[in-house]
A and B are shown apart, each in its own frame.
Chain A
Amino acid sequence: MISALLALGLAAGAPFPLPPSPLPVQDTVKGKVVYEKWCAGCHGETGAGDGPAAAYMLPRPRNFTGAVYKIRTTASGQLPTDADLLRAIDEGLAGSAMPAWKGRLSDAERRDVLAYLKTFSSFFADTSQHVVALKFGGEPGGGTSAEALKVGRQFYDSIGCRKCHGDQGRGDGPSAPTLKDDAGFPIFAADLHQSWRFRGGATAADIYRRLRTGLDGTPMPSFSDLIDQKFLTDEQLWRLAQYVRSLSPARTPEVRDVIHAPRLAAALPAAPGDSVWDRVDRYWLPLVGQVIRKPRWFGPAVSGVWVQAVHDGKSVALRVSWDDRTRSPDTTWLGFERRVLETVAGDDSGGGRTAGPFPDQLAVQFPRRIPEGMERPYFLMGTETDAVYQWRWTSAGGSGAAGGAVGGLARGLERFDTLPGGPAAQTSYEHGEWRVMFTRSLATPDTANELQFAAGRAIPVAFFAWDGSSGEHGNRLAVSTWYFLALDQPTPPRVFVTPVVVMLLTLGLGIVVVRRVQRRQA
């Protein structure tokens, strides 16, 4: 009877709100199947973020039971929207182990698994919870202008970003060594020079959203109250987001296999800060944890190195720059280092897991000879019988002429024998960035052990980095694969002459042909 009346009322256009258009059906039973197959390995059967793989990860997988999510469009403290969660599932979370699932799972599977993971927390069933995406205005234009960036920088200082993210944004602020997430795990203040590793996306709009919503469960707060209380305007917060964006390269660096070292007519750069380096292409080479030889290391601190090289026909100069929030050995980070070692599981235990004031280190690796074919020594520091030639630098090496660098032969991770002649090295550390410049003559007397550089050849090269304040030393390091270094040859004169000759010949021939035709017609 009542339903009949209701139906009548609806039919008569009574003021009942229309039912919302039906959502695509979400099936938590099917979602559970998907979850247990693809997600539980990291996030755990009960959603507590404690799957078998979790202990090897930093940052740890999300614990769904508390329904606390970093990447949202809702105010701090609110639940995420379905769209927020689906975005993380679809696109993954850059800079973490969470991959993108779009394309790997069907639309229905992703929707179902979303519905299932919401069942891990009672908050989602609580109808009194408000889940409303904040209204974000559009990005104001001119975001890369000097004026906009100046305003952004002003608020970077005035709202205290530098406390955690550091003066230049490399996550080296005074509060950084104390940071923990809500579960008590150590957490790094983001390195704002690596936007491609931001969990919630790399655009200025993504950064603006994180400023408005905060990253719940982490030390990163929401700044929305500041707009409400007129401490800053919405536009000024956008300028801050644009300033933060400007700290990273405009585009995600593309990984290229060959590092070109131009030949300079002038002198090689004299220091790591020499302006010559500003005019030389830089190459981003990603590094990953050493997970091959035991004890393995799953928490590499150095995510990659920027490499530049030049030569002058006699010597080669190589500059390696990388972000490292600590100038190790640094005792202010010992507590943080201890927490990292307690958090990231490995094969070693006891004494091997003791925190200490370890130095930062870098190794640049070459084969002993330029290979003729495709054969290269084993990338992970060679083997007992097939040694590799390395330059090794350590921050504890003092400021002698060698600048803390030596040359030598590595025969696997465990053995390194120093050679008498090494490269010269100069180092700088500023605001969370190491720059180490190696210089060595192309040819050396020890042709048996030391690589003899030659222009126009593809010289295999690999990089290894240790961050002492993350407990890295020995096997605990970040590694790259083999890349190539190519010392450009001076451009031979025929490169310039040949095209001119060819053009002249073509013109001459053309004239001859045209004349003949004209004569015939005449």
Chain B
Amino acid sequence: MRRAMLAVVCGVFVMASARERRAEPQGGATIAGKIKFTGAKPANPKIDMSEEPKCKAKYQAPPTEETVVVNPNGTLANVFVYVKSGLPESYKAPAPAGGVTLDQDGCRYHPHVLGILVGQPLEIKNSDGILHNIKAKGTKNRPFNISQPTTMTSTRTFTAPEVMVPLECNVHGWMHAWLGVLPHSFYGVSGADGSFSIKGLPPGTYTIEAWQEKYGTQTASVTVAGSETKTQDFTVAGK
């Protein structure tokens, strides 16, 4: 009898925790916006992949680096926008739902900019099947450097919030990715239309920061309540 009760209690607990793990931040407020780009559009350096025919074959036009990616609608992609401060001290992020994947495909990183929670697994995948090394150059997190000479996946985690941890491959000097390590999941990365959104925020006043690898950071203060959506655009001037 006691055992049965214990089993039931355990079962309920497991179910509850499983549900919690799956839970996306529901309800709450949203901060959304676009990253506008003004001024001269800088040309990204072309990548010479002649040493890596396997990668080169994946492109019709010569690939370029992704330092500044201006979308066709004049917005900027690959901008990391996150809540820098404003969450209550007591806020505790739910356990991460699985890992985050960083793929090495065509001798470039996909995605080029990504966010991750402290303790959340980063699945580093080599789809190219040629030698890559993955070097993480954090300063708040321990830096590491591992080799992947074949199609494989390596997993690493990060222990401290850090925006950004630079990732690079030394075999292919043009390969760079940027990893924002946060204690919460209130972040977004601007996409092919230049928009981002940060969902599920508890009510409050937040400092949000937009980070771009060449142009640095900008911040804005946004107050949200209930389940409203506030718009916060950023404008980056090309140099």
CA distance A127 to B18 in the complex (A): 31
* Beyond known contacts A68-B143, A179-B170: 16 more, CB 8 A cutoff: A77-B136, A77-B144, A159-B147, A163-B131, A163-B171, A164-B171, A175-B172, A178-B173, A182-B143, A214-B147, A216-B144, A216-B145, A220-B145, A221-B146, A225-B152, A226-B149
Residue of B at shortest CB range from A222? B146
Find out whether the CB atom of A231 lies under 8 angstroms from the CB atom of B149: yes
- Count A-B contacts at CB 8 Å: 82
Closest Cβ–Cβ distance, residue B86 to chain A (whole Å): 26
**How far, in Å, is B210 (CB) from chain A's closest CB?**
25
Q: Is A76 an interface residue (CB 8 A)?
A: yes
Q: Is A298 an interface residue (CB 8 A)?
A: no
Q: Does A308 reach chain B (CB closer than 8 Å)?
A: no
Contact in complex: B147, A226 (CB < 8 Å): yes
- Cβ of A77 and Cβ of B143 under 8 Å apart? yes
Smallest CB separation, B202 vs chain A (Å) = 28
**Is B154 interfacial (CB 8 A cutoff)?**
yes
A215 to B173 CA separation, bound complex (whole angstroms): 18
Please tell me if the beta carbons of A221 and B142 are within 8 angstroms of each other in the complex. Answer: no
Residue B130 lies at the interface, judged by CB distance under 8 Å to chain A = yes
Which of A78, A174, A178, A221 touches B147 (beta carbons < 8 Å)? A221
How many residues does chain B have at the interface if contact means C-beta atoms less than 8 Å apart? 26
**Which A residues are CB-close (under 8 A) to B136?**
77
Report B-chain residues with C-beta under 8 Å of the C-beta of A223: 147
Docked Cα-Cα span, A75 to B168, in Å, equals 19
A178 surroundings in chain B (CB, below 8 A): 170, 173
- CB pair B145 A76 closer than 8 Å: yes
List chain B residues, Cβ under 8 A from A79: 142
Residues of chain A within 8 A (CB-CB) of B147 are 159-160, 214, 221-223, 225-226
B229 at the interface (CB under 8 A from A): no
Nearest opposing residue in chain A for B137, CB measure = A182
Nearest Cβ on chain A to B126's Cβ, whole angstroms: 11
Nearest CB on B from A377, distance (A): 46
- Which chain A positions have C-beta within 8 A of B67? none
Contact of B149 among A66, A123, A158 (CB under 8 A): A158
Distance in angstroms from B141 CB to nearest chain A CB is 8
Most buried by A among B131, B136, B154, B172: B131
Q: A182-B137, A229-B152, A231-B152 are in contact. Are A164 and B146 (CB under 8 A)?
A: no
A219 within 8 A of B: yes
User: Provided the pairs A77-B142, A77-B143, A164-B171 are in contact, do residues A159 and B135 lie with their beta carbons within 8 angstroms?
Assistant: no
**Does any Cβ of A come within 8 Å of B139's Cβ?**
yes
Residue of B nearest to A218 (CB): B145
Interface positions of B from 169 to 195, Cβ below 8 Å from A: 170-173
In Å, the complex CA distance between A420 and B171 comes to 48
Please report the C-alpha to C-alpha distance between residue A437 and residue B167 in the assembled complex, in whole angstroms. Answer: 46
Contact residues in A for B171 (Cβ distance below 8 Å): 160, 163-164, 175
Contact at A221–B145, with CB atoms within 8 Å? yes
Complex: A231 Cα to B170 Cα, angstroms: 21
Closest to B139 in A: A66
CB atoms of B173 and A76 under 8 A apart: no
Complex Cα distance, B145 from A64, in Å, reads: 18
Given A163-B131, A164-B171, A175-B171, residue A216 in contact with residue B152 (CB < 8 A): no
Tell me the complex Cα distance, A182–B170, Å.
11
Q: Would you give 12 A-B contacts (Cβ < 8 Å), ordered by A?
A: A66-B143, A76-B144, A76-B145, A123-B142, A160-B149, A175-B171, A217-B143, A221-B133, A222-B146, A222-B147, A225-B152, A229-B154
Per-residue B-contact encoding for A217-259, CB less than 8 Å = 1, 0 else: 1111111111001010000000000000000000000000000
Shortest Cβ distance from A220 into B: residue: B145
Contact for A214 among B146, B154, B172, CB less than 8 A: B146
- Chain B residues near A214 (CB, 8 Å)? 144-147
| A327: min CB distance to chain B, Å | 17
B173 near A222 (CB under 8 angstroms)? no
Does A145 lie at the interface of the complex (its beta carbon under 8 Å from any beta carbon of B)?
no
Residue B51 interfacial (CB < 8 Å): yes
Q: How far is the CB of A194 from chain B (nearest CB, A)?
A: 21
User: Does B148 lie at the interface of the complex (its beta carbon under 8 Å from any beta carbon of A)?
Assistant: yes
Supposing A158-B149, A226-B149 touch, asked if A174 and B51 sit within 8 A by C-beta, the answer is: yes
Q: Are B142 and A160 in contact, with the CB atoms below 8 A? A: no
Q: Which residues of A contact B156 (CB under 8 A)?
A: 77
Which of chain A's residues have a CB closer than 8 A to the CB of B145? Answer: 76-77, 214-216, 218-222
Give the docked Cα–Cα distance between A164 and B148 (Å): 14
Closest B residue, CB atoms, query A179: B170
Known: A77-B144, A226-B147. A175 touches B170 (CB 8 A): yes
Is A491 close to B, CB under 8 A?
no
B150 at the interface (CB under 8 A from A): yes
CA distance A446 to B154 in the complex (A): 70
The list of the 10 closest CB pairs from A to B, nearest first, reads: A160-B131, A77-B144, A219-B170, A178-B173, A221-B147, A221-B133, A159-B149, A77-B142, A221-B145, A76-B144
Which residues between 39 and 95 of chain B lie within 8 Å of chain A, taking CB atoms? 51
A431 → chain B closest CB, angstroms: 17
- State whether the Cβ of A447 lies closer than 8 Å to any Cβ in chain B: no
CB distance from A499 to the nearest CB of B (A): 62
The answer, yes or no, to whether B218 is at the interface (CB within 8 Å) is no
B159: chain A residues at CB < 8 Å are 128
